[in-house]
Chains A and B, each alone.
Chain A
Amino acid sequence: MLKTLFPTLGRVRFTVQILMLFLTVYGGALLGSYTVDRISQALPALSCAYDKMTGDHCILIVNQHQLHHRVGEALVKAQDITLKVFIPVAMSVGVFFMFFFLLNKAFCGWVCPLGTVQELLYRIGRRLGRPLNRLQPGNVGRVRPVKWLMLLVLVLALPTMAGMGVVSNELGDPFCQVCPSRIATTLLTADTEQIAVRTSTTVNFALGALGNAMFGFVVIAALAARQPFCRICPLLSWNALFQKLSPMRLVKKDAHEKCEKCGVCEKACPMDIHEIGTEFGKKAFHEDCTMCGRCAEYCPDDDVIQLKFFGFRLFGSSREHYKRRVRAETPEGAPKQRVIDVRVNKPKGENG
């Protein structure tokens, strides 16, 4: 029965994603208005506090508010840098880690509502026959640092500086103001407030304009590129800080001779992590990994790539699963029997 309903890991993940989409976007409406105060208030996924129906909200809004209202204010007063200031921050990070410990970055690949929305858009793009834009090894290195910059500037530095009075108070939660999840999740509840740009001050207007433009870009880009926002998401870098501390792991064999010629896992990876094909052992679990498990699903050899929890195998690659998977969908995510047009973004000077 379960095998019929969930023949592949991909089907399990898709089901979880849809359930989580409902919880993170409509959870308050389904489970009670105050659900948002009771689950974690520090979720390792972009579940948005601006969504009036959300069931929980992400750690980043909490971080920004605490740095703005507690740490920044306390630093400027140069007094009372005490437990009263740091305990709430430690509490948030602690609650976040309790959740993160269990699932690691699977929060990105299985729970995040914006991740799910982008995947759904990508599926639509496949149906519409749009090309697939991929980042090659030469290009991907240029994009990867952006997520750390986003974390450092928008989540950590500006809110703290706003609390200290160094920059405008409106920069208290700058990431939320540009986060596409804020607009996507509120629009999913038929709330148009967040897509309306704030016009009260220049800073508000600039942040709003940037946020809306980013949202528009992501919506269209997701039709022809996989997970465009995830690649620069500060929650991905925030989660990457903790990924080695969780017993949930993506594990690859230390060496496997067929990997050099195969590369299907690289094609299956929605984050263009080429290292999953070229590296082995711990190095294969890259900081950009969202633990979606597609590399393990599309690896045609037994147990080369596995998802493990405390060393126990939750899922491992197998020839049989691979055959079942490719019967329905290509590694790039196109429905089978459909020709997929792959456009390669190569560095300048390289021939196609």
Chain B
Amino acid sequence: MRMNLILMGALLAAATALAAPEGKPGGRPQMDMSGGHDHAAMMQGMGKTAAWTLYPTLKARMSGESRETMKTAIMPQNIVAAGIDAWSNNTKDDKAHRQLSIEMGGAMLDKPANGGFHWLAAREEQGDTVRVASTVYSFNERGARDPSAMFMQQKHELEIIPQPFPREHSRYRANEDWQFLLRFNGQPLPGQKVYLETSNGSMAEFVADVQGVVRVHVPDDFKPEEEMKDAGGHNHGMRRGADLVLATEYAAEGKTFLTAFNSSYGPNAFEKRSLAMGLGFTLLGMLGAAPLLRKRKTEPKSEEAGNA
């Protein structure tokens, strides 16, 4: 098993190096690796390959018929890790930080009583390279604590921290700007580059400001005809989504650190909406109320009120 892990890690590292454009840490694969059998996923601790990126990612999958029996499995992709670290937003709880072992279907994330946000991370260290995949998962439960403190806890050397992460019942959406803090050993990284890739095929590069905060523009790259893809979770029937990953690389202490943060995102806010028609109907309503503004000559002229 240990040999398998090393071999898989070496293969992924080689693929990453081959696919990476010059000056950019492991990027989009040059070949489609989604077809056929995925032997990597069949081995415990192995990272399943994501077809759209070579950056390490964590994919959450929900199963179960009802919300009471729903289970959440976290599947590492493009990374070889023995387990997944989970931090809950209830930082005072004994189980605030726990390690989830990876089974055949991924690492099972248990739902705590209070639900709320979880930070999930997988780490791989091969020689002088440290790779980290990270993501946020929320159970959307009443009474969840503010996750800001949990997000800011140092969990790895190189970190990409959402500032903030979309709150309950919302998510990243195309054509929106979101901020992330880049840190190394808890210190901000001004001028640090971040690379974005999406499963819809977009790639972009962003640079952090003097506070180490990078403003990322989520590309508007959904095809209008595309069918609903993301049917998981709180499905309102019309939602569709894609995946994005942010990655950054930093060399220090004789090692190279690569950290990625992935999440899903939805179409832009105005998809299947019409602002012109919205304004038109609003105007129609205004016109309907306009007679109320008119003064009638035949009515009682005026009344000096308040002199009772």
- Chain A residues near B301 (CB-CB < 8 A): 341
B88 to chain A, nearest CB (A): 14
Q: Which residue of B lies closest to A224 (CB)?
A: B292
Name the interface residues of B273-308: CB closer than 8 Å to any CB of A: 273-275, 277-279, 281-290, 292-296, 298-308
Of B238, B282, B287, B293, the contact of A195 (CB 8 Å cutoff): B282
Name the interface residues of B216-269: CB closer than 8 Å to any CB of A: 234, 236-238, 269
Tell me whether A308 is interfacial, beta carbon within 8 Å. no
Q: Which residue of A lies closest to B279 (CB)?
A: A195
Q: Which residue of B lies closest to A339 (CB)?
A: B302
A217 engages B288 (CB within 8 Å): yes
A133 to B168, CA, bound (A): 42
Q: If A38-B146, A264-B308, A267-B305 touch, does A220 touch B295 (CB 8 Å cutoff)?
A: no
B-contact bits for A179-201, CB 8 A (1 contact / 0 none): 00001000000001101111110
A331 to B303, CA, bound (A): 11
Q: Which residue of B lies closest to A217 (CB)?
A: B285
- Chain B residues near A32 (CB-CB < 8 A): 146, 148, 164
Q: Which residue of B lies closest to A191 (CB)?
A: B269
B-contact bits for A207-222, CB 8 A (1 contact / 0 none): 0110011111111110
Tell me whether B193 is interfacial, beta carbon within 8 Å. no
A326 to B306, CA, bound (A): 6
- Chain B residues near A35 (CB-CB < 8 A): 146
B278 engages A195 (CB within 8 Å): yes
A342 engages B295 (CB within 8 Å): no
Tell me whether A109 is interfacial, beta carbon within 8 Å. no
- Chain B residues near A332 (CB-CB < 8 A): 305-306
- Chain B residues near A46 (CB-CB < 8 A): none
Name the interface residues of A147-176: CB closer than 8 Å to any CB of B: 169-170, 172
Name the interface residues of B85-119: CB closer than 8 Å to any CB of A: none
- Chain B residues near A81 (CB-CB < 8 A): none
Q: Which residue of A lies closest to B276 (CB)?
A: A196
B167 engages A34 (CB within 8 Å): yes
B168 engages A220 (CB within 8 Å): no
Tell me whether B29 is interfacial, beta carbon within 8 Å. no
A84 engages B307 (CB within 8 Å): no
- Chain A residues near B147 (CB-CB < 8 A): 34
A197 to B290, CA, bound (A): 22
Of A37, A196, A214, the contact of B168 (CB 8 Å cutoff): A37
A262 to B307, CA, bound (A): 10
B169 engages A336 (CB within 8 Å): no
B299 engages A343 (CB within 8 Å): yes
- Chain B residues near A38 (CB-CB < 8 A): 144-146
A32 to B144, CA, bound (A): 14
B292 engages A133 (CB within 8 Å): yes
Q: If A216-B282, A216-B289, A217-B285 touch, does A199 touch B272 (CB 8 Å cutoff)?
A: yes
Q: If A193-B269, A199-B273 touch, does A216 touch B285 (CB 8 Å cutoff)?
A: yes
- Chain B residues near A172 (CB-CB < 8 A): 236
- Chain A residues near B300 (CB-CB < 8 A): 342-344, 352
A108 to chain B, nearest CB (A): 22
A221 engages B148 (CB within 8 Å): no
- Chain A residues near B148 (CB-CB < 8 A): 32-34
Of B144, B270, B277, B279, the contact of A193 (CB 8 Å cutoff): B270
Q: Which residue of B lies closest to A198 (CB)?
A: B273
Of B168, B169, B278, the contact of A212 (CB 8 Å cutoff): B278
- Chain A residues near B284 (CB-CB < 8 A): 212-213, 216
A34 engages B164 (CB within 8 Å): yes
Q: Which residue of A lies closest to B146 (CB)?
A: A34
A37 engages B282 (CB within 8 Å): no
Q: Which range contains the number of B residues in contact with the other chain?
A: 35 or more
B-contact bits for A71-112, CB 8 A (1 contact / 0 none): 000000000100010001001100100000000000000000
Of B270, B277, B279, B302, the contact of A340 (CB 8 Å cutoff): B302
B-contact bits for A128-140, CB 8 A (1 contact / 0 none): 0011010000000
B147 to chain A, nearest CB (A): 6
Tell me whether A49 is interfacial, beta carbon within 8 Å. yes
- Chain A residues near B66 (CB-CB < 8 A): 80
A215 to chain B, nearest CB (A): 6
B-contact bits for A311-343, CB 8 A (1 contact / 0 none): 000000000000000100111101010011111
- Chain A residues near B296 (CB-CB < 8 A): 131, 343
- Chain A residues near B68 (CB-CB < 8 A): 80, 84
Tell me whether A274 is interfacial, beta carbon within 8 Å. no
Tell me whether A306 is interfacial, beta carbon within 8 Å. no
B223 to chain A, nearest CB (A): 16
- Chain B residues near A214 (CB-CB < 8 A): 285
A38 to B267, CA, bound (A): 28
Q: Which residue of A lies closest to B166 (CB)?
A: A33
A91 to B113, CA, bound (A): 14
- Chain B residues near A91 (CB-CB < 8 A): 142
Tell me whether A234 is interfacial, beta carbon within 8 Å. no
Q: Which residue of A lies closest to B298 (CB)?
A: A352
Tell me whether A223 is interfacial, beta carbon within 8 Å. yes
A84 to B68, CA, bound (A): 8
Residue from A169, A200, A212 with most neighbouring chain B CB atoms (10 Å): A212
What are 10 inter-chain pairs, A to B, with CB distance below 8 A? Answer: A193-B270, A195-B278, A196-B274, A196-B278, A197-B278, A197-B281, A199-B274, A200-B238, A341-B302, A352-B298
In order of increasing CB-CB distance, the 8 nearest A-B pairs are: A216-B285, A213-B285, A220-B289, A212-B281, A216-B282, A196-B273, A217-B285, A330-B306
Interface residues of A (CB under 8 A from B): 28, 32-38, 41, 49, 52, 69, 80, 84, 88, 91-92, 95, 125, 130-131, 133, 169-170, 172, 183, 192-193, 195-200, 208-209, 212-221, 223-225, 228, 262-264, 267, 298, 300, 326, 329-332, 334, 336, 339-344, 352
Q: A196-B270, A219-B286 are in contact. List 9 more A-B contacts (CB 8 A).
A: A130-B293, A131-B296, A193-B269, A197-B278, A212-B284, A213-B288, A216-B282, A218-B289, A267-B305
